Amino acid sequence: MDHDPGLTALAALGDFFVLRTGRPPHGRPPTLAEAYVARDADVEREVYANPVIFRVRKVARSLRTTEPRVAASIAHLGFAARLWSVALGSAALYGRVPDLDPRLLRWDADASAPDELWLTEVRGLPVERIGEVVREGHLVPLARSLRAQLQLSERLLWGNAASALMGAVRQVDHWAAANGHAEAASRARALAADLFAHPTLRGTLDPVTRRRRSCCLYYRLPGGGLCGDCCFDRPPGTRSRRGPRS
């Protein structure tokens, strides 16, 4: 990280791992610290009034769903994937994680997927702080913001976080295998094991299959099916399910 202050190496891992640095070139999107506490209801007119709910409504329009909690879950899953990917990818490549303090990280809620993030100041932290950086710094306040405004299960949101983390681990594994970086994959897996041992993520995935024990609600989208790690064998209503619904 010290030798790559722009974090450019992360792009090799995929779009979800990219973290732009410096000031955004267009406008002034809010920091995530501001986004997590915004409560202005007039989000149709102004993206910065409540970026979290603006993003949920944008996702709802894009996926053609009229169920806010479904759109919120999908938006949350994508955002969690971005945060875990950036942090885990940095740990794997640099042996450090960037300080993703919500006051330093800007987010354009009106951009296309994956979520566009800008880190205004790059500061490296020990990899052992990855849980503090992502979980406490973002996933806890984001869940609080969403649940204060929409009917969402906390269990569903932590299931999303677990699924997103496992997805990031798999992507690092694939990249490492293709590029001969076994040590990077080992580092990522070890960190993930510690993260999954935390009470918030413990038990969210089946220990053998790594399939989640809650549902992200993707099946409720028009034309939606089941995710690869879904707790269901088939969409609810077509056959008995494997695990509990959210």
DSSP assignment, residue 215? Answer: -
Q: What is the pLDDT of residues 11-47, one digit of tens each?
A: 999 999 999 998 887 777 899 999 999 776 555 556 6
CA–CA distance, 43 with 52 (Å, rounded to integer): 9
- Chain centre distance of CA 227: 16
pLDDT digits (tens, 9 = 90+) for 53-111: 999 999 999 999 999 999 999 999 999 999 999 999 999 999 999 999 999 999 999 98
Segments in the chain forming alpha helices (H): 32-37, 51-63, 68-94, 130-131, 140-149, 154-179, 182-196
Beta-strand pair 116-119/105-108: antiparallel
Task: State CA 54 to chain mean position distance.
Answer: 17
**Could you report the per-residue pLDDT of 114-158, keeping only the tens digit for each?**
999 999 999 999 999 999 999 999 999 999 999 999 989 999 999
Q: What is the rounded CA–CA span in Å between residue 6 and residue 2?
A: 9
Q: Are 109 and 143 in contact (CB under 8 A)?
A: no
CA nearest neighbour of 203 among 231, 239, 227 = 231
pTM: 0.91
Question: How far is 169 from 167, CA to CA, in rounded Å?
Answer: 5
The C-alpha atoms of residue 246 and residue 72 are separated, in whole angstroms, by 14
